[in-house]
Amino acid sequence: MNIIEVKNLKKAYHDGVTETVALSGVSFSVRKGEFVAIMGPSGSGKSTLLHLLGLLDIPTSGHYSFNGKTVTSYSSDDLARLRNKEIGFVFQSFNLLARTTVLENVKLPLVYSEVPEHEWNERATKAIEAVGLGHRIGHYQAELSGGERQRVAIARALVTDPEVIFADEPTGNLDSKSGKNVMSIIQKLNQIDGKTVVLITHETSTAEHAERIIRLMDGEIESDTKVKNRLSVDDEYVK
């Protein structure tokens, strides 16, 4: 079953005078439980594609079906609810709330969800333990290392138990050791918990954790290939 289906997806930006085409009609699909990496140099449209797939932005034209729903016609509030329920985001710059504890950060999506409040702490604690940060639960963002911050962000993405995790350069701001650790957690989410993962990266080493790599160039798909020698979960980094 395809969880993501896009046909001829286009995105253009107008600044009043000129039109800049970021995506000029891409079509592909992602199966449920698949791990796809989207690669490409900067300006290739990979961030734009991720924003469209993550329901953060609306395409100029084309068709997008997410988890069986035609979302191109959804209102911004409907999209917000869908993001909350079925999508988890991991950003390059973590985007944790300052002066807020790990627990409060991870609980943030629940505040906007329909999950009853008495389950919040339990769910958040479970998600934090799943990324190996159970001992850091009451700590503030400033007290965490970069790798730990990204793991908090992953826990936050998991807490609503979404179908798909979108990760935008999740290792971009990390040293190689923390980066590997984060990637192994993401791969585990895909292989053990069966989450669909769509990852953006410009590093081949990161992309090779995925099953499949879509390469973008100038707003078009250049290639769509299976990864032959896939990097596997490196358990020694997961505590």
Partner 1 sequence: MNIRHTFKTSFTGLTTNRSRSALTILGIVIGITAIMLVISLGGGAQALILGQVQGLGTNTIAIIPGREPTGPSDVSALYSDSLKQKDIIALQNKANVPGLKSIMPTVFSGGTSAYDVNAYQVSIFGATEHLADIFDLHPDRGEFFTMDDVLSRNDVTVIGSKVVEHLFGNDNPIGQKIKIKGRNFKVVGTLPSTGGGSLFNFDNMTLMPYTTAQDYLLGIKYFSRIIIQTQTDEQVPSASADIAQTLRDSHNITDPAKDDFTVQTQQDLANRLGTITSALTWFLVAVASIALFVGGVGIMNIMLVSVTERTREIGLRKALGATDRDILSQFLLEAVLLTAIGGLVGIILGASLAFIIAIGLSKGLGVNWQFIFPWSGAILGLGVSALIGLVFGGYPAKQAAKKSPIEALRYE
* Contact set with partner 1 (CB under 8 A): 51, 54, 56-57, 76-77, 80-81, 83-85, 89, 91, 95, 97-100, 108-109, 111-113, 117, 156, 160
Give 17 or 98: the residue with its C-beta nearer to partner 1: 98
User: Measured over all CA atoms, what is the biggest interatomic distance in the chain, rounded to whole angstroms?
Assistant: 54
For residue 213, the SS3 value is strand
Report the nearest approach of partner 1 to the CB of residue 139 (Å). 16
Compute the half-sphere exposure of residue 101: CA atoms within 13 Å on the CB side of its CA.
14
Nearer to partner 1, 124 or 213 (CB): 124
Q: How far is the CB of 23 from partner 1 (least distance, A)?
A: 14
Taking the C-alpha atoms of residue 139 and residue 155, their distance in angstroms, rounded to an integer, is 14
Minimum CB distance to partner 1 smaller for 160 or for 206 = 160
CA angle 181/90/141 to nearest 5° reads: 75
**Distance, CA of 57 to CA of 11 (rounded, Å):** 9
Question: Would you say 111 or 192 has its CB closer to partner 1?
Answer: 111
d(CA 18, CA 21): 10
CB 226 to partner 1: min, Å: 30
What distance lies between CA 166 and its chain's CA centroid? 1
Token match 């490409």: residue? 40
The minimum distance between CB 11 and partner 1, in angstroms, equals 11
In the complex, least distance from residue 223 CB atom to partner 1, rounded to whole angstroms? 26
Q: Which is nearer to partner 1, 83 or 151 (CB)?
A: 83
